[in-house]
Amino acid sequence: MSDDLSRLTSSAYSQALEVIAAVEPRIAEATRQELADQRASLKLIASENYASPAVLMTMGTWFSDKYAEGTVGHRFYAGCQNVDTVESLAAEHARELFGAEYAYVQPHSGIDANLVAFWSILAHRVESPALERIGAKNVSELTEADWESLRKELGNQRLLGMSLDAGGHLTHGFRPNISGKMFHQQQYGTDPVTGLLDYDAVAAKAREFKPLVLVAGYSAYPRRVDFAKMREIADEVGATLMVDMAHFAGLVAGKVFTGDEDPVPHAHVVTTTTHKSLRGPRGGMVLATEEYAPSVDRGCPMVLGGPLSHVMAAKAVALAEARQDSFRTYAQKVADNAQSLAQGFLSRGANLVTGGTDNHLVLLDVSSFGLTGRQAESALLDAGVVTNRNSVPNDPNGAWYTSGVRLGTPALTTRGFGHDEFDRVAELIVDVLANTQPGTTKAGGPSKASYVLGDGVADKVKSASAEMLDKHPLYPGLELS
């Protein structure tokens, strides 16, 4: 950021906070404190990043005041011509960036994007044949008897997705999530020895189960996926291949993942978030082939309410940033830094699920330290290292306490961290975990939640972290008065 731009940014945020403080000073203070906290922390949550000031400022405009249900040129509210421009630009950038035939930028989150995708696939695969059977042109011509028949078909379809403990997401058929309730679902896991995807096993499962939807993609799987093979499996059993690339969209956009590792040429429907490794605003997006475009375009009102026009504008800005050559350089550094972090752990005797990584995250099995994921997460937070606990394959501690901690490199890479810093980060994390002991319950037994962190460890790690963080300031030049 140039000096002039830094001064403009600082002035803009300072004045904005003054305006906020005039109404609710506690919110202004919490906002200032959040920046201070983020600047002082080693942020290693794989699903978080730092959006640019341009992206952040785009969200704080009067586009927030506009209702715009519908699609470009076909709104249910008047006066949406500027929203049409915003949505069209965001979709254009998305199509060009990912090489997609169609892009839908209205989803408010990744879960919303997945819901749009699921119902769009169902509509395409089930509604269309139903319309053909009765000779109707659109759903408005269906009778109540037709709808009753259609509801039975829509409610009894099969979905095959990656299990939560193998690295899948809760929206891939996990029972407590709506995806696990709307589908007759089963899950595929990973090889019990290597922790890697076994495509032959996935194919065998698909042949046996015959799903309508095969979901690929992950939330905590530290390896790349061969989407060409997943498409072969889907085609063999007549399934629609849906890929959730929310976590690694930045690596796809930055051309780190190409060929068979790029899901867009192989999947019928691709969903993503626009933050995480893509470094945009919090939101979702659906990419699809033209075949599925009409169904996806009905996301609102099918499952979405009014689109957030100010966030769609910010998506357009972030996607424009991601089309620059500098983003490719950034994406490659994210992957390189994940390798450095993984090697830093392995060289110090830590245990990683799959033995390493080739994407943007590592999954650290903390059971070798005698800890649960919850204990490790809490002890690290005390030392200023922000992570999140995560299940490992066949986790004996379940999805709440877990046996793992997930760490990602996108955020600190945005700050400018490189090989040496990530090796040092691994050293500090191992130091914290090696000096943490499980606590005891009130009854005197071993606890899965409480812990005891060694004296002075937190302060030592915070001091070492501060040295690195000071060399790579967050939003350099941004000073709030």
Q: What type of residue is 156?
A: N
What local confidence, expressed as pLDDT, does residue 343 receive? 98
Is-catalytic flag, 244?
Answer: yes
- Catalytic (active site) residue 67: yes
Q: Report pLDDT for 137.
A: 64
298 and 360 co-located in one domain: no
Q: Is 321 a catalytic residue?
A: no
Is residue 45 situated within a structural domain?
no
Q: Do 373 and 397 touch, CB atoms closer than 8 A?
A: yes
The pLDDT of residue 5 is: 80
Convert the pLDDT of each residue in 381-417 to its tens digit. 999 999 999 999 999 999 899 999 999 999 999 999 9
Query: Within this chain, do residues 103 and 172 fall inside the same structural domain, yes or no?
Result: yes
Q: Which two tokens stand for residue 96?
A: 């060009």
Q: What is the pLDDT of residues 193-218, one digit of tens each?
A: 999 999 999 999 999 999 999 999 99
User: Is the same domain home to 173 and 114?
Assistant: yes
Shared domain for 82 and 169, answered yes or no, is yes
pLDDT at 270 over 80: yes
Exactly one of 71, 271, 272, 273 is catalytic; name it.
273
Q: Considering the domain boundaries, does residue 4 fall inside one?
A: no
Domain with 84, as residue range(s), is 64-322
Q: What confidence score (pLDDT) does residue 172 get? A: 82
Tokens (6 digits) for 313: 């504008």
- pLDDT, tens digit, for every residue of 136-186? 666 667 677 777 776 777 666 899 999 988 888 878 877 778 777 888 889
Domain boundary residue, one of 293, 322, 351: 322
In a domain, 283, yes or no: yes
Which pLDDT belongs to residue 136? 64
Mean per-residue pLDDT of the chain: 93
Distance separating alpha carbons of residues 75 and 87, to the nearest angstrom:
12
Give residues with Cβ within 8 angstroms of 273, minimum separation 6: 47, 109, 110, 113, 246, 249, 282, 283, 284, 285
Is the peptide bond between 410 and the residue preceding it cis, with omega within 30 degrees of 0?
no
326 with 311: CB under 8 angstroms? Answer: no
Residues 281 and 398 reside in one and the same domain: no
Residue finishing a domain among 282, 300, 322: 322
Using the structure block, give the residue that is written with the tokens 């941004």: 478
CATH number at residue 195: 3.40.640.10
Distance between CA 351 and CA 223 in Å, rounded? 16
Selected catalytic residue, list 48, 69, 84, 153: 69
Find the CATH number of the domain harbouring 380: 3.90.1150.10
Whether 310 and 355 map to the same domain: the answer is no
Question: Active-site residue 224, yes or no?
Answer: no
Beta-sheet strand order (sheet of 240-244): 102-104, 284-288, 269-273, 240-244, 213-217, 158-162, 184-188
CA distance 428 to 385: 9
Do both 273 and 357 map to the same domain? no
Q: What is the per-residue pLDDT for 134?
A: 67
148 by Cβ neighbours in 10 Å (0-12 / 13-18 / 19+) ranks as: exposed
Q: Would you say residue 40 lies in a domain?
A: no
Q: Residue 10 domain-assigned? A: no
Domains held by the chain: number: 2
Q: How far apart are CA 222 and CA 392, in angstroms?
A: 11
**256 and 339 belong to one structural domain:** no
Task: Assess whether 302 and 353 both reside in one domain.
Answer: no
Tokens 């421009």, located at residue: 85
Is the model's pLDDT at 357 over the cut of 80?
Answer: yes
Task: Out of 125, 276, 315, 374, pick the active-site residue.
Answer: 276
Is 70 exceeded by the pLDDT of residue 114? yes
Q: Which of 66, 223, 279, 282 is catalytic?
A: 282
Q: Is the domain of 251 the same as that of 386?
A: no
> Within this chain, do residues 292 and 346 fall inside the same structural domain, yes or no?
no
- The tokens describing 286, both together, are 């659906």
Q: What is the pLDDT of residues 79-106, one digit of tens each?
A: 999 999 999 999 999 999 999 999 999 9
Structure tokens at 434: 């090696």
C-alpha–C-alpha distance, residues 134 and 146, integer Å: 9
The pLDDT tens digits for 405-455 are 999 999 999 999 999 999 999 999 999 999 999 999 888 888 999 999 999
Dihedrals phi, psi of 439, to nearest 5 degrees:
-85, -170
Q: Is the pLDDT of residue 481 over 90?
A: no
Catalytic residue among 67, 84, 226, 232: 67
In a domain, 9, yes or no: no
Q: Which two tokens stand for residue 204?
A: 């065998």
- Is 282 an annotated catalytic residue? yes
Examine the domain organization and report whether 199 and 257 are in the same domain.
Answer: yes
Report pLDDT for 174: 78
**Local confidence band at 468 (pLDDT 50, 70, 90 cut-offs):** very high
Last residue of a domain, one of 322, 348, 370: 322
447 falls within a domain: yes
Residue 8 pLDDT more than 90?
A: no
Give the dihedral sign, CA 89/288/100/276.
Answer: positive
* Assigned domain for 51 exists: no
